[in-house]
Copies of this chain bind each other. A is one copy, B any other.
């Protein structure tokens, strides 16, 4: 951490400040006195030092963090890629491309089972489906809840596909027993109480990036889960909010290689939420596979025009079949490069 001090400060004040830092944290402080300003350089573990606290000092001009503020999610301290392996042998991370597919929300036994069978036949490795749905409007369909989870279990029995589904409150955790991967939605990415409690589980968490959250904040939210002991975190880029209105969100495709450089955690891409329109899903999925994503999460509905939720961004099982073939082909080509 580099701290630039304002000019003409009293030696005493600075001394006292340095003492405060070295007594509270395991750091050493080097002082470098220039003609106009003085710079302090902190060596050691600065993860715990709040840079805002430092910036709040009267005599501080500015603060620059050199070391990343996250540890467990940091590739520097964990150079190898993390690969999440489920009891059934399915993996996320590593060399294969995970295909997570299914409807936005579970609507009926017939619907979820039919979609599950279709996407499995096309090569999906995981089944997604919402039982608890975060909707902007209180008057919109909020999901089938417990019943939806029950139907997901049926579909899992039928197809063997592990389940990925979203949790909105720890009060519901009892209902998530057979859920293989628990998803935290974009709107809850900084619901820190939820993250802390999920950190106490030993099941993989799929953590979606918030609409307006930076990559560093996403890693810090992963750190919340990991700091509690649960190191099985999968990150998900699903589009960020920008001024462009042609797409619902703007897919930040660069996030994939950036995160993979900074962290060892697997990263999947959700082109359905990123774009909001079905005809964009395939090209974006292909781009995500090409850029090195570890997986894709795609909304597939047997009858998008009757979907209770997100119909406009859902593709049909036939379209998913075509998409799956293409992304696998591109992923393979890229791996061989």
Give me the interface of A with B, judged by CB distance under 8 Å: 2, 4, 30, 32, 34-37, 39, 41, 43, 47-48, 50, 52-53, 55-58, 61-62, 64, 66, 69-70, 134-141, 168-171, 187-188, 190-194, 196, 210-212, 214-217, 220, 223-224, 227, 240-247, 250-258, 261, 274-275, 279-280, 283-284, 286-292, 304-305, 307-314, 325-326, 329-330, 333-334, 337
Known: A136-B217, A287-B287, A329-B337. 5 other contacts (CB 8 A): A35-B43, A138-B227, A168-B193, A211-B212, A253-B253
Chain B contacts for A50, CB-based, 8 A: 137, 140-141, 309
Whether A333 and B337, one on each chain, are in contact in the complex, defined by CB atoms closer than 8 angstroms, is: no
Chain B contacts for A214, CB-based, 8 A: 243-246
CA distance A304 to B34 in the complex (A): 27
Whether B244 and A240, one on each chain, are in contact in the complex, defined by CB atoms closer than 8 angstroms, is: yes
Whether B32 and A32, one on each chain, are in contact in the complex, defined by CB atoms closer than 8 angstroms, is: yes
Chain B contacts for A227, CB-based, 8 A: 138-139
8 A-B pairs with least C-beta separation: A56-B311, A212-B212, A290-B290, A187-B190, A169-B193, A56-B312, A287-B291, A257-B283
Chain B contacts for A141, CB-based, 8 A: 50
Number of copies: 4
Question: Given B57, B62, B310, which contacts A52 in the complex, CB threshold below 8 Å?
Answer: B310
CA distance A175 to B47 in the complex (A): 31
Chain B contacts for A275, CB-based, 8 A: 254
Given known A30-B32, A30-B34, A253-B287, contact A215–B188 (CB-CB < 8 A):
no
User: Nearest chain B CB to A255's CB is how many angstroms away?
Assistant: 8
Chain B contacts for A224, CB-based, 8 A: 138
Chain B contacts for A4, CB-based, 8 A: 2, 64, 66
Given known A246-B214, A337-B326, contact A136–B254 (CB-CB < 8 A):
no
Whether A2 and B64, one on each chain, are in contact in the complex, defined by CB atoms closer than 8 angstroms, is: yes
Chain B contacts for A240, CB-based, 8 A: 242-244, 250
Whether A284 and B253, one on each chain, are in contact in the complex, defined by CB atoms closer than 8 angstroms, is: yes
Question: Given B135, B247, B256, B283, which contacts A292 in the complex, CB threshold below 8 Å?
Answer: B283
Residue of B nearest to A227 (CB): B138
User: Nearest chain B CB to A246's CB is how many angstroms away?
Assistant: 5
Whether B247 and A258, one on each chain, are in contact in the complex, defined by CB atoms closer than 8 angstroms, is: yes
Chain B contacts for A137, CB-based, 8 A: 47, 50, 69-70, 220, 223
User: Nearest chain B CB to A194's CB is how many angstroms away?
Assistant: 8
User: Nearest chain B CB to A72's CB is how many angstroms away?
Assistant: 9
Whether A187 and B191, one on each chain, are in contact in the complex, defined by CB atoms closer than 8 angstroms, is: yes
CA distance A215 to B246 in the complex (A): 7
Question: Given B253, B290, B326, which contacts A251 in the complex, CB threshold below 8 Å?
Answer: B253
User: Nearest chain B CB to A69's CB is how many angstroms away?
Assistant: 6
Chain B contacts for A330, CB-based, 8 A: 290, 330, 333-334, 337
CA distance A256 to B16 in the complex (A): 36
Chain B contacts for A52, CB-based, 8 A: 309-312
Whether A241 and B254, one on each chain, are in contact in the complex, defined by CB atoms closer than 8 angstroms, is: no
